[in-house]
Structure 1
Amino acid sequence: MRKFLVIVNMESGTAKKSDPGKITAEVLDVLSSHDIESDVRFFRGADLVDGLRRAIDEKPDAILVAGGDGTVNTAAGLMENSGVALGILPMGTFNLAARDYDVPLEFEPALHALATAEMQSNQLMKISGLPCLCTSIIGFYPRMARMIDEYHGKKWWRKSLRVLGWSVFRFAKSTVYRLTISNQDTEETKQHAFKSRMLAIVPGEYRDTLGLIPERKSTSGKEATVYVFQHLTRIAMLRGMLAYVLGQSSDDPDMEAVAVTSGTLDFKGKKHVKIMIDGEVTQLETPLKIEIVPDALLLLHPQPETLP
């Protein structure tokens, strides 16, 4: 019989309002129906890392992590090369990692999907040594997101619209970065110079889709993509936002995409930059190092034929 441990971050989006007793009963019921032994453990944010480390040391077949993208990111960093599979139980605001790996966004269907999922070895993108499963953003967006943390945990569209509204008024006052992107995974280093108020670093690349939530083309790519927003005026920014929402970013003349396997981002005149990695804001020294580490993480991948 397989053994799954379920780790719940009680400070994540929907987990805040959930009944631990109901969560435990649902997990035990669903996983036992798939002949899986399980144990459910609840932690506050400050105790999450220690709880995850103890769980990894027990060497279960998989650890299902219930929380938002920041929680999943923390687990991915700790579970790198552990031999224990990570399963994503979406209980956050945006749940980008769950969307990327085809995990249903509702709790019970997600449990069924993970119980029948395949364990697959995945690459892991790192930014200056920090893991990133979904996306890292530099520029005015992380500053806006920190100003509206009170919206954490509410419906994703509500927070998205709030951020977009703030962006319209604050964009023109945000920093213009002069940056150089160097891709070192070639016989000769290729450099690209830009001016930008915001850029995003993504493992793989995005497809053009209608709406506010980005969608990755693949989770198995061997490259990262740096999306450079060269929208330096408010009008250009609004035009770029419209192109993004309509799924036409690839036609936006102010958007540049640079593929990187191993490289650096250097910011002229900046010793540190604020960066949002999978929803969590931190500050890193420059230049930033981008790398794709192959076969670093075991993940539970739900199979299309088993999805509800």
Structure 2
Amino acid sequence: MVDHSGLRDLVSRTAQDRGWCEPRWFETTREDAGTGVTALALRDHPRLVLACGGDGTVNAVAAGLAHTGVAMGIVPIGTGNLVAQNLGIGSGVRDAVTSAFDGADRRVDMGLLDGRPFVGMGGIGLDAEMVRDTSPGMKRLLGWPAYLPAVLRGLRSGASRVRVRLDDGHWLTRRVLGAVVGNVGALQGGVSLLPEADPADGLLDLALLHDVNARGWLVTAGRLIGSRRVDGPAVERFRFRRLELRSSRTKPFEVDGEVCGTTRSLKVEVNPAALVVKMPA
């Protein structure tokens, strides 16, 4: 981990070594997580914008860069760095900065959840309850096991009856604890929830977390411990371009690790090839 002043020095040296001009820095605030300052940065017609932070910062900067063609580099120094992890950008700050300057440009998709852009994942129900009820400190200390108390509370909160329609197909009815949509597939700690997810395939992935009996959850937990993959009777997966979901109960929902409120319905769609990201060469 590099402190704030150390990060600035590192980026400046890296730019200088490559013959680039001195980078300009824009601070995020409570009121502006990054989209507004990204718009300011774009006035200078940059070749590269670095998102230095966690998933919330990456989300906001990506929203500002979508369809501009300007590349985004990610320096993962936040509590949650799910997008960087899934894109192969390691947690080492120096390596991430090097990748941002020297890496390959890759066009990736984004998603829109009720009009809110996301790069990684979003969800309703159990997924959002886990995000809401797990402290950043515990996530840093324990990794994915930190979510287990929130999972147990979520299981006790009860399931909802949901109707789901994918790509204008027939409505499906399920009894679920939650639903997760993803442009990427791995959760914190490298746990695989959506193993077919590819951020550049023009599709999004859906996992429905079923309300199963204790034996079903034990099977799922056993596979999680054994293979770091969420699998078994508790999970049903789909792939889609557009999704509508309607729930019998009001539940919290989240986008890229930020709880946005509560709802009983969602509309999700892919925004294909929206973003250019610098990836490790």
TM-score range, shorter chain: 0.7 to 0.9
Q: Which residues in structure 2 correspond to 1:19-30 (within 5 Å)?
A: 19-30=3-14
Q: Which residues in structure 2 correspond to 1:87-166 (within 5 Å)?
A: 87-149=73-135, 151=137, 155=140, 158-166=142-150
CA distance in 1, matches of 2:189, 2:33: 36
The secondary structure found in structure 1 opposite 2:144 is helix
**What is the identity, as a one-letter code, of the residue corresponding to 1:44?**
T
Note closer, same or farther for the CA distance 1:213–1:46 as it changes in structure 2 (3 Å cut): farther
Deviation at 1:248, TM superposition (A): 6.9
CA distance in 1, matches of 2:234, 2:135: 29
Structure 1: which 5+ runs fail to align? 1-13, 304-308
The yes-or-no answer on 1:259 pairing with 2:239 is yes
Deviation at 1:289, TM superposition (A): 1.1
The yes-or-no answer on 1:40 pairing with 2:25 is yes
Note closer, same or farther for the CA distance 1:77–1:251 as it changes in structure 2 (3 Å cut): closer
| Equivalent in the alignment of 2:15 | 31
Q: Deviations for 1:219-267, whole angstroms, at most 9, x for unmatched residues? A: 2122211111114345533432332232375751231101111121111
| Greater mean deviation of Cα atoms: 125-134 or 248-257 | 248-257
CA distance in 1, matches of 2:256, 2:222: 23
Deviation at 1:285, TM superposition (A): 4.2
| Equivalent in the alignment of 1:173 | 156
CA distance in 1, matches of 2:64, 2:45: 13
- Pick one of 207, 211, 222 that aligns with 2:202: 222
| Alignment: residue pair count | 278
- Pick one of 221, 240, 257 that aligns with 1:241: 221
| Greater mean deviation of Cα atoms: 31-40 or 87-96 | 31-40
CA distance in 2, matches of 1:287, 1:41: 36
Deviation at 1:92, TM superposition (A): 1.5
**What is the identity, as a one-letter code, of the residue corresponding to 1:232?**
V
Tell me if the contact between 1:231 and 1:240 (Cα under 8 Å) persists in the aligned partners: no
Note closer, same or farther for the CA distance 1:62–1:258 as it changes in structure 2 (3 Å cut): same
Note closer, same or farther for the CA distance 1:75–1:166 as it changes in structure 2 (3 Å cut): same
**What is the identity, as a one-letter code, of the residue corresponding to 1:165?**
P
**What is the identity, as a one-letter code, of the residue corresponding to 1:267?**
S
The yes-or-no answer on 1:194 pairing with 2:174 is yes
The secondary structure found in structure 2 opposite 1:42 is coil
Tell me if the contact between 2:133 and 2:150 (Cα under 8 Å) persists in the aligned partners: no
CA RMSD of aligned residues (A): 2.8
Note closer, same or farther for the CA distance 1:215–1:228 as it changes in structure 2 (3 Å cut): closer
The secondary structure found in structure 2 opposite 1:35 is coil
Q: Deviations for 1:249-291, whole angstroms, at most 9, x for unmatched residues? A: 57512311011111211113x4x53112111001254431111
Tell me if the contact between 1:199 and 1:229 (Cα under 8 Å) persists in the aligned partners: yes
Note closer, same or farther for the CA distance 1:150–1:292 as it changes in structure 2 (3 Å cut): closer
**What is the identity, as a one-letter code, of the residue corresponding to 1:39?**
R
Note closer, same or farther for the CA distance 1:250–1:68 as it changes in structure 2 (3 Å cut): closer
| Equivalent in the alignment of 1:4 | none
TM-score (norm 1): 0.79
The secondary structure found in structure 1 opposite 2:227 is coil
Tell me if the contact between 2:129 and 2:154 (Cα under 8 Å) persists in the aligned partners: no
Structure 2: which 5+ runs fail to align? none
Tell me if the contact between 1:205 and 1:224 (Cα under 8 Å) persists in the aligned partners: no
Note closer, same or farther for the CA distance 1:175–1:282 as it changes in structure 2 (3 Å cut): farther
Deviation at 1:147, TM superposition (A): 2.9
| Greater mean deviation of Cα atoms: 229-238 or 18-27 | 229-238
| Greater mean deviation of Cα atoms: 278-287 or 71-80 | 278-287
**What is the identity, as a one-letter code, of the residue corresponding to 1:54?**
L
Deviation at 1:205, TM superposition (A): 4.8
Q: Which residues in structure 2 correspond to 1:198-213 (within 5 Å)?
A: 198-203=178-183, 205=185, 212=191
Deviation at 1:39, TM superposition (A): 2.4
CA distance in 1, matches of 2:171, 2:61: 33
CA distance in 1, matches of 2:45, 2:205: 34
**What is the identity, as a one-letter code, of the residue corresponding to 2:270?**
I
| Equivalent in the alignment of 1:281 | 259
**What is the identity, as a one-letter code, of the residue corresponding to 2:5?**
G
% identical equivalent positions: 20
Note closer, same or farther for the CA distance 1:167–1:204 as it changes in structure 2 (3 Å cut): closer
